Amino acid sequence: MSFLRNMRLGTQLGLSFAAMILISLLVALYGRVHLTDVASNVSQLADERLESLLILQNLRDLVNENARVVRNMAMQSDRSRIPGQKKLMDKNRKQATTIQDDLRERYPTPDGKALLAELASATTGYRAAFDKAVDLASADQIDAAREAIQGALRTEQDRYFKAIDKLVAMERDHSRAIALEAKRDSLDASNAMLMLAALAAAIGVLVAWSITRRVKGQLGGEPAYAAEIAQQVAQGQLAMRIDLRPGDTTSVMAAMESMRRSLSGVVSQVRQSSESIATGARQIAMGNADLSQRTEEQASNLQQTAASMEEIGSTINQNAETVRTATQMANAASQTAARGGDVVSNVVSTMQEITTSSRRIGDIIGVIDGIAFQTNILALNAAVEAARAGEQGRGFAVVAGEVRSLAQRSAEAAKEIKQLIGASVDRVEAGAQLVNEAGTTMEELVQQARRVADLIAEIGAAAQEQEQGIAQVSGAVNQLDQVTQQNAALVEESAAAADSLNVQAARLVELVKVFVIDHAEAAQAPASAPAPAAHRAAPAPAPRREPTLASSPAPAVAAPVRATAAAKAKPRTTPAGSQPTLSAPPAPRKPAAAPAKPADDEWESF
């Protein structure tokens, strides 16, 4: 019994139900075995004995049919039907022979073999008498055939039927024995199953009584009383008393009494702690509301600053674009001036060549003038010689005069051309001098254009550096704006969490008020939190810290809220080329003076 007393209730129930199931299975198995025997006997009775009776009856019917056929052969006058009747008799004889051969296999016992031997002897006599009667009827000896049929054939047929009746009687005896055995087995199985069922019922009653006694002992009272106590505890009635049996310290009722006392003490402590939590939550909510307002103002100022920086950046971008355009135009002007200088150099070279050619033309004109002068002298000499010749040289004198005239005109034309060529050479030299001066001026202009292009390039580089600096400043401002927005989101979530904490604390106070406790027991329970302070001094704001490159660790209490806000906040995207100098949010503010802690620190316990 000590083993059962120390066993778990579930194990006892499992073993009890397993024992009942095992007994039921044994009863079913026993019934199954006996019902199988009964079914085997019934099957043997139906399949073997009944079939044997039917075979013997069929054998009797074949003999009667042959007797009727031979009687008809002896009585009819139409002899043409005798062959067909003989075929029918031969067919019936073959079936009878087959049946008798089958009967030898069905009766292997000594009694069966003896009866079969008697049947075989009767069959021999019967067939001899039958064949004689058939022969007489076939020979048209009607009277002799009738005498044989009514005499020897009937006697042998009766003997044959008696042998068959003996086999039938033996089959009936066997069938009765099988039926009696099946009835006896069925009755034995019924009695055994009734006994096993009675035994199972007795065991079930014993197990039920034992389990009920143990359950009531472990429960310590009636289940309805335990349910009533549980309902009162569920309704918050913790000031009641539970009636226990003397010395009961291990039952469920005793455990419920211990639970009620512990729960009463815990509820008292929770009530005190919830009031302290509610006061602290209200103070946190007020501080978070103030901090949220200041953070929103700071975020608004940073957004305005970011907008101004964006406008400045846009203006600088436009200036940089203008400088790039001016640089391109200055480069184009410098290239044009360079091309103009090249053209002027080509013009100066061409003018020099023209001057050289003009001088050569002047030399050639001088030669022509000399030739004209010499021709004039020659013509004058010819005229003199013609005058000396008189009449004979008159024609030659005319020709010499014409030549002289042509020489004079050639000399005058050469002088005029020489004058024109001289004037042209003077003008070309003057033009070449002007072109040289223009070339010098173009060279100076090209140098000045290149200097302007260099100055514009320097202005563009300065504008680009200024643009990068403005982009960095804008990125820093955007990052400050992002950090401020994250701080604002964190403050809003902290304020929301503080409001939710305040609501939950108030709700906790209301929920705890549902419980009705015994103040004497509550006074005996150890207090874990004192009464809440009437007022907490709000922490003074610390001076603002400059943002640093490394992020400062967040306080342990606000870690979950910061993680949530960092996941929810959507930071602004900074320009691709900018490199902001800030990479972490500013360090959280620390109160200048920490609030006074209660003696047992209810916030740490919270």
Query: Which phi and psi (to 5°) does residue 250 adopt?
Result: -120, -5
Which domain-ending residue is among 176, 200, 219? 219
* 454 and 339 Cβ atoms separated by less than 8 Å: no
Lowest pLDDT segment from 253-262, 303-312, 468-477, 581-590 = 581-590
Q: Calculate mean pLDDT across residues 92-104.
A: 75
Question: In this structure, are 208 and 306 located in the same domain?
Answer: no
Question: In this structure, are 193 and 296 located in the same domain?
Answer: no
- At 557 the pLDDT is 36
- At 529 the pLDDT is 42
Q: At what angle do helices 394-512 and 252-389 cross, to 10 degrees?
A: 170
The answer to the question of residue 190 being in a domain is yes
- At 60 the pLDDT is 77
Round to whole Å and give the CA distance between 306 and 309: 5
Lowest pLDDT segment from 28-37, 156-165, 336-345, 502-511 = 28-37
Question: In this structure, are 33 and 108 located in the same domain?
Answer: yes
Q: What angle do CA 598, 599, 603 make, to 5 degrees?
A: 50
In DSSP terms, 237 is beta-bridged to 516
Residue linked to tokens 């020897």: 152
- At 56 the pLDDT is 74
Q: Calculate mean pLDDT across residues 480-496.
A: 80
CATH number for the domain spanning 422: value is 1.10.287.950
- At 534 the pLDDT is 40
Question: What share of the chain in percent tops pLDDT 70?
Answer: 76
Which domain-ending residue is among 512, 535, 557? 512
- Given a cut of 80, is residue 364 above it in pLDDT? yes
- Given a cut of 60, is residue 528 above it in pLDDT? no
3-state secondary structure of 516: strand
DSSP 524-540: HSPPSS-PPPS--PPPP
- Given a cut of 60, is residue 493 above it in pLDDT? yes
- At 41 the pLDDT is 57
pLDDT digits (tens, 9 = 90+) for 254-263: 777 777 777 7
pLDDT digits (tens, 9 = 90+) for 390-412: 777 777 777 878 787 887 888 88
Question: In this structure, are 36 and 148 located in the same domain?
Answer: yes
Lowest pLDDT segment from 51-55, 128-132, 154-158, 292-296 = 51-55
> pLDDT category, 337, cuts 50, 70, 90?
confident
- Given a cut of 70, is residue 45 above it in pLDDT? no
Question: In this structure, are 198 and 318 located in the same domain?
Answer: no
DSSP 424-449: HHHHHHHHHHHHHHHHHHHHHHHHHH
- Given a cut of 70, is residue 537 above it in pLDDT? no
Question: In this structure, are 89 and 180 located in the same domain?
Answer: yes
Question: In this structure, are 324 and 467 located in the same domain?
Answer: yes
The answer to the question of residue 561 being in a domain is no
Question: In this structure, are 34 and 121 located in the same domain?
Answer: yes
Q: What angle do CA 325, 327, 328 make, to 5 degrees?
A: 65
Lowest pLDDT segment from 383-392, 458-467, 543-552 = 543-552
- At 580 the pLDDT is 38
- Given a cut of 70, is residue 2 above it in pLDDT? no
Q: What angle do CA 125, 126, 131 make, to 5 degrees?
A: 100
Round to whole Å and give the CA distance between 571 and 478: 9
- Given a cut of 70, is residue 535 above it in pLDDT? no
Round to whole Å and give the CA distance between 464 and 472: 12
pLDDT digits (tens, 9 = 90+) for 541-570: 444 444 333 333 333 333 333 434 334 444
- At 549 the pLDDT is 35
Query: Which phi and psi (to 5°) does residue 516 adopt?
Result: -105, 115
- At 589 the pLDDT is 43
The answer to the question of residue 269 being in a domain is no
The answer to the question of residue 263 being in a domain is no
3-state secondary structure of 111: helix
Q: Calculate mean pLDDT across residues 459-483.
A: 80
Question: What share of the chain in percent tops pLDDT 90?
Answer: 0
Question: In this structure, are 200 and 343 located in the same domain?
Answer: no
> pLDDT category, 76, cuts 50, 70, 90?
low
Number of domains making up the chain: 2
Q: Calculate mean pLDDT across residues 506-535.
A: 59
**Residue 234, CB half-sphere, CA atoms under 13 Å: how many?**
6
- At 587 the pLDDT is 42
- At 103 the pLDDT is 74
Question: In this structure, are 359 and 475 located in the same domain?
Answer: yes
- At 7 the pLDDT is 65
- Given a cut of 60, is residue 246 above it in pLDDT? yes
Query: Which phi and psi (to 5°) does residue 237 adopt?
Result: -85, 95
- Given a cut of 60, is residue 596 above it in pLDDT? no
Using the 8-state DSSP alphabet, how is residue 78 labeled?
A: -
Q: Calculate mean pLDDT across residues 96-105.
A: 74
Using the 8-state DSSP alphabet, how is residue 237 labeled?
A: B
3-state secondary structure of 245: coil
Q: What angle do CA 323, 329, 332 make, to 5 degrees?
A: 145
The answer to the question of residue 523 being in a domain is no
3-state secondary structure of 596: coil
Domain span at 164: 2-219
The answer to the question of residue 556 being in a domain is no
Question: In this structure, are 188 and 41 located in the same domain?
Answer: yes
Which domain-ending residue is among 451, 478, 512? 512
The answer to the question of residue 568 being in a domain is no
Question: In this structure, are 24 and 147 located in the same domain?
Answer: yes
- At 558 the pLDDT is 38
- At 43 the pLDDT is 57
Q: Which residues contact 373 (CB under 8 A, 6 or more apart)?
A: 407, 411
The answer to the question of residue 549 being in a domain is no
Round to whole Å and give the CA distance between 119 and 106: 14
